[in-house]
Structure 1
């Protein structure tokens, strides 16, 4: 009974078989079989390579992140500017100001030949001054004069730095430190002269708000006064024979996320502006950066966050000035013609770029292999049938 039921299924067999007695094998068929096998093998190999290849799909969406911080990594060499003439300051559009950043920035003094001065991973100027202060200790009741400057709450200016701050707060220019008793006792000018021919290497990382802002490396110290940010230019910036200029080499400048250890290979750096050279002391370099947040989704489902940017470069001699020129830095008032140094003006784009790694699925790979095998064999069989029929017809006609 069961055998009769299964015997009835023979009628739906789509793969009819022929006996060996009715099969005809030809040399043409053998040749087509070898060619078909080679084609199938080649296409299968290409399909396997395509299956193992990772492709990156890019999409653009609106960046909805709020209240985030950006980590800025920098590595810059100034061959002809002493470290005491370089301060790292940050000002952004929200009003937050970071002045004279030192906790995450390392300054290394360089000799006039560009070699690192041993044991000088800080500016060295403040160390020399503190050493002189200890050697020339003043009485405990000492109260130094502020020389007409705005006095601090204590009413005394006991150090050259305090006199300098009092002058700046009063809006005066601190251009004659050799007439200040505190500066002379600390050897302030002598320390400046000892380091006059040095260079500086700045490396480190700073955190900034994810809003439009300005990072600048410029001389002197900024103070918050009634007229905004006023920059004191150290007397040795004057044309007194010292060959100070702000030519520099940018080894790295990048915007990272918090997990920057995973982003070393995809971080974007300022290689296209690797160096800028000048022989003028009062020269301003400005880099205008358009920062775009970028997310990477890897094939193993890791989410990496970084930033890309485009940059344009502008520079000019601030000692000459340009009437009507407004490119003085985006958010700082630097006087009529600005101050020398490097200014990175960055603007945050509202667009988020998402790069997603994708790969062909295994089901798609199997389907493609089956399609290749079936298609090649079918075409080869049709071609063989046409050749066989044509050959028989010619033989009969002959």
Structure 2
């Protein structure tokens, strides 16, 4: 037993936390206050550390984009409160020379009244499908409708509706026909239909698939056609003195504009970068305004910890509004000019390790108690010195 006692006696010499006797411990009100305050601070800091530990962090890195040859999806939802749907066309152009006028695949427009409510009759129609609620007067007849010098886009070579004639003229690059002298347009009551829809708005939404190169897509009034190397919109039918007398009010609200698929993986900061134009409202105080958006698009890859990687795009935007005059070239509309960055940003989701969390908690507890102990000792000694001076009568 003696040997055992001597071993433990030697072991006690290694104690770095020597204790004082209870008889020499003095408990004070100041010490209790410091203890409570330090405990509150420790609990607060530990809660913050726990929140940081449980919240994932997206860490960015920059690499060269290897997906430049792929197609890019554009998801959009835009409302034109004072532009009828039959006026609007969406066109796509890029530097590869690929042009698409009157794009209608996966794109839908909804007719709205001036209060923004959907119109029940034919409220949802495809872009370019202007004959959904029109009787095709010549469609049931055996004779072939004339295309008035143009070449029909139909397999039978006939133009049995007003829209057939219009599309044939646009394809030929001749601009729009005078609907007042086209038998098909007169039979369908085209002018009356245009006049009835003059005080309407239009909500356009859907998806566009474009080449991942510099270019633009735009929403503009009038049928578009290509002549030589020029992209032209025929505004004659809707200029001053037109059937509906529309003044090209291109005021619009951008509800959504994203490049790439929607994803639930993005944080608030990344979501703001992938759809910075959401909620943008433009109000035209004059007729014939060209709204330009210059978009710098950067490919983005999201690598979550427990999910498959997702590819999307974020972009910055610069805006410019131009009031068109008779001497200026161009046309009213909303133009989105795209420029693709050669770089790709990769966001990798990460989280602090448990070891790092535990180290931080221990550092908080030890640091706060150490500082609190120093403060307590300083206050205790100051109180003792003050009381001693009181006893000696040396205070004022």
Task: Compute the TM-score of the two structures, normalised by the length of structure 2.
Answer: 0.76
Partner secondary structure for residue 132 of structure 2: helix
Indicate yes or no: 2:285 matched with 1:284.
no
Partner secondary structure for residue 289 of structure 1: strand
Instruction: Write the deviation string for residues 333-357 of structure 1: whole angstroms up to 9, x where unpaired.
Output: xxxx122221111222234344555
Partner secondary structure for residue 24 of structure 2: coil
Q: Which runs of 5+ in 2 are unaligned?
A: none
Residue 332 (structure 1) aligns with: none
Residue 126 (structure 1) aligns with: 131
User: Aligned pair in 2 of structure 1 residues 109, 133: CA closer, same or farther (>3 Å)?
Assistant: farther
Residue 51 (structure 2) aligns with: 52
RMSD: 3.9
Residue 149 (structure 2) aligns with: 148
Mapped contact 2:137–2:184 kept (Cα < 8 A): no
Query: In 1, Cα distance between the equivalents of 2:341 and 2:260?
Result: 16
Partner secondary structure for residue 180 of structure 2: helix
Q: How does 1:230-309 map to 2 (within 5 A)?
A: 230-233=232-235, 235-240=237-242, 242-260=245-263, 266=271, 268-271=275-278, 273-280=280-287, 282-296=288-302, 303-309=309-315
Residue 80 (structure 1) aligns with: 82
Query: In 2, Cα distance between the equivalents of 1:174 and 1:382?
Result: 89
Residue 324 (structure 2) aligns with: 318
Partner secondary structure for residue 216 of structure 1: strand
Mapped contact 2:239–2:246 kept (Cα < 8 A): no
Q: Which moved more, 1:117-126 or 1:351-360?
A: 351-360
Mapped contact 1:285–1:340 kept (Cα < 8 A): yes
Mapped contact 1:169–1:225 kept (Cα < 8 A): no
Instruction: Write the deviation string for residues 338-384 of structure 1: whole angstroms up to 9, x where unpaired.
Output: 22221111222234344555544332333233334444555666777
Residue 369 (structure 1) aligns with: 361
Query: In 1, Cα distance between the equivalents of 2:166 and 2:263?
Result: 40
User: Aligned pair in 2 of structure 1 residues 187, 51: CA closer, same or farther (>3 Å)?
Assistant: same
Query: In 1, Cα distance between the equivalents of 2:365 and 2:209?
Result: 58
Query: In 1, Cα distance between the equivalents of 2:368 and 2:82?
Result: 71
Mapped contact 1:160–1:186 kept (Cα < 8 A): yes
The alpha carbon displacement at 1:126 in A equals 1.0
Q: How does 1:63-142 map to 2 (within 5 A)?
A: 63-66=64-67, 67-119=69-121, 120-122=123-125, 125-134=130-139, 137-139=140-142, 142=143
Instruction: Write the deviation string for residues 131-160 of structure 1: whole angstroms up to 9, x where unpaired.
Output: 4345xx322xx2444433357686654443
Mapped contact 1:73–1:252 kept (Cα < 8 A): no
Query: In 2, Cα distance between the equivalents of 1:157 and 1:221?
Result: 17
User: Aligned pair in 2 of structure 1 residues 385, 233: CA closer, same or farther (>3 Å)?
Assistant: closer
Mapped contact 1:48–1:365 kept (Cα < 8 A): no
Partner secondary structure for residue 342 of structure 1: strand
Q: How does 1:156-167 map to 2 (within 5 A)?
A: 156-167=158-169
Residue 8 (structure 1) aligns with: 7
The alpha carbon displacement at 1:237 in A equals 3.1
Query: In 2, Cα distance between the equivalents of 1:92 and 1:7?
Result: 90
Query: In 1, Cα distance between the equivalents of 2:241 and 2:156?
Result: 36
User: Aligned pair in 2 of structure 1 residues 114, 204: CA closer, same or farther (>3 Å)?
Assistant: same
Task: Compute the TM-score of the two structures, normalised by the length of structure 1.
Answer: 0.76
Mapped contact 1:283–1:340 kept (Cα < 8 A): yes
Residue 25 (structure 1) aligns with: 25
The alpha carbon displacement at 1:268 in A equals 1.9
The alpha carbon displacement at 1:297 in A equals 5.0
The alpha carbon displacement at 1:104 in A equals 2.1
Mapped contact 1:297–1:355 kept (Cα < 8 A): yes
Query: In 2, Cα distance between the equivalents of 1:196 and 1:151?
Result: 28
The alpha carbon displacement at 1:270 in A equals 1.5
